[in-house]
């Protein structure tokens, strides 16, 4: 059974139809990519899946639950986490605290318990810290734990965001252009990292413009154009799809050749 099932979803901003009756599935353990030109609706699709936008129509199932209309925090609790196209760290906190926020939905002490440090709460707090530290080690940034998030380099921000998302123990991880703004070496690291995350049993839905990375990593690819699905298949099927090459890949290849 599919882990994520998006069924006939539609979303418009005013008159602009950003997602036009899109359906697809993500199988457990898969790395699936969503590609398409700028403005195709990829980020909008992510926002719908993680609950930040409510679709005008259509249904979304995650595991055996219908999650259409759920609030983002409920969807995060259900096991979907994400990173953002523009890194969205909490800049007033340090790196470790950012990752600790990711543990929020897996921990339970509320206002009163935290205020009086009820027996058990300090222990949970220590566990949060430990888990966050472990997550930072996992992405190789343990040495930056105490660094203010605002002082990080761009690539480091992306990695901290990944650590924060992983700290929520997701079953499904949405990565919105994790490679943009990274240099070649960082991109290679990112590719390895995404594979390692998948090996942990996390299913991945990826939006990315770097075709080398996409073709290299993906088990399946979904192509969006003007909010509509125009193709879906394995990397080799997509590379040989005349329609896709015309609207998207052709342009991308030219870009690559020009730069």
Ligand X SMILES: Nc1ncnc2c1ncn2[C@@H]1O[C@H](COP(=O)(O)OP(=O)(O)OP(=O)(O)O)[C@@H](O)[C@H]1O
Q: Which residues lie near Mg ion (CB under 5 A)?
A: 43, 85
- Residue (120 or 251) nearer to other proteins, CB: 120
Shortest gap between Cβ of 148 and other proteins (angstroms)? 5
Between 52 and 134, whose beta carbon lies closer to other proteins? 52
Tell which positions 120-179 bind other proteins, by CB under 8 A: 121, 124-125, 128, 146-154, 157, 164-165, 168
Instruction: Rule CB under 6 A: say whether 85 interacts with ligand X.
Output: yes
Here the tokens at position 67 are 């999650």
- Quick one: tokens of 69? 């209309």
Please report, as residue ranges, which positions from 22 to 61 form the binding site for other proteins (by CB under 8 A): 50-52
Task: Please say which residue, 85 or 226, places its beta carbon nearer to Mg ion.
Answer: 85
Window of 10-18, 122-130, 145-153, 242-250 that interacts with ligand X by CB under 6 A: 10-18
Residue 38 interaction partner, one of Mg ion, other proteins, ligand X, none, beta carbon < 5-8 Å per kind: ligand X
- Which residues in 65-124 contact other proteins (CB under 8 A)? 71-73, 76-77, 81-82, 84, 88-94, 97, 100-107, 109-111, 114-117, 121, 124
18 binds, among ligand X, other proteins, Mg ion, none (CB under 5 to 8 A by kind): ligand X
C-beta of 76 vs 244, nearer to other proteins: 76
Angle (deg, nearest 10), helices 95-102 and 121-138 = 110
Report which of 232, 253, 234 is spatially closest to residue 243, judged by C-alpha positions: 232
Report the residue number, 58 or 72, with the smaller CB distance to other proteins: 72
Token pair belonging to 205:
């839905």
How big, in percent rounded to 5, are the helix, strand and coil portions of the chain? Answer: 45, 25, 30
Cα distance between residue 122 and residue 115, in whole Å: 11
Query: From residue 15 to residue 44, what is the string marking binding to ligand X with x (rule CB under 6 A)?
Result: -x-x-----------------x-xxxxxxx
Query: Alpha-carbon distance 21 to 6, whole Å?
Result: 10
What separation, in Å, do the N-terminal and C-terminal C-alpha atoms of the chain show? 43
* Cα Rg of the chain (Å, integer): 19
Nearer to other proteins, 96 or 223 (CB): 96
Select from 15, 79, 80, 73 the least CA-distant residue to 45. Answer: 80
Q: Which two tokens stand for residue 73?
A: 């925090």
Alpha carbon of 257 to those of 111, 181, 239, 241: distances in Å? 57, 19, 17, 20
Report if residue 59 touches ligand X, rule: CB under 6 A.
no
CB atoms within 10 A of CB 198: 17
List residues near ligand X by CB under 6 A. 13, 16, 18, 36, 38-44, 85
């Amino acid at each position: 059974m599919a882990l994520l099932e998006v069924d006939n979803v539609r979303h418009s901003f005013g008159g602009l139809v950003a997602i036009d009756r899109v359906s697809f599935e993500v199988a457990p353990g898969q790395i699936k990519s969503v590609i398409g030109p700028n403005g195709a609706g990829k980020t909008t699709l992510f926002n719908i899946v993680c609950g930040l936008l409510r679709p005008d129509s259509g249904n979304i199932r995650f595991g055996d639950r219908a999650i259409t209309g759920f609030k983002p925090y409920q969807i995060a609790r259900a096991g979907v986490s994400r990173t953002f196209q523009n890194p969205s760290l909490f800049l007033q906190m340090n790196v470790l605290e950012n990752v600790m926020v990711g543990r929020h939905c897996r921990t339970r002490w509320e206002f009163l318990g935290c205020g009086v440090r009820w027996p058990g709460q300090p222990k949970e707090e220590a566990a949060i810290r430990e888990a966050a530290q472990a997550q930072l080690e996992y992405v190789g940034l343990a040495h930056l734990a105490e660094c203010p998030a605002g002082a990080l380099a761009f690539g480091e921000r992306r990695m901290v965001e990944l650590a924060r998302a992983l700290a929520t123990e997701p079953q499904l991880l949405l990565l919105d252009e994790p490679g943009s703004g990274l240099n070649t070496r960082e991109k290679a690291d990112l590719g390895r990292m995404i594979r390692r995350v998948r090996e942990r049993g996390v299913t991945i839905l990826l939006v990315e413009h770097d075709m080398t990375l996409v073709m290299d990593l993906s088990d399946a690819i979904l192509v969006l154009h003007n909010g509509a699905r125009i193709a879906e298949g394995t990397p080799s099927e997509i590379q040989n799809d005349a329609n896709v090459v015309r609207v998207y890949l052709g342009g991308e290849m030219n870009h690559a050749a020009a730069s």
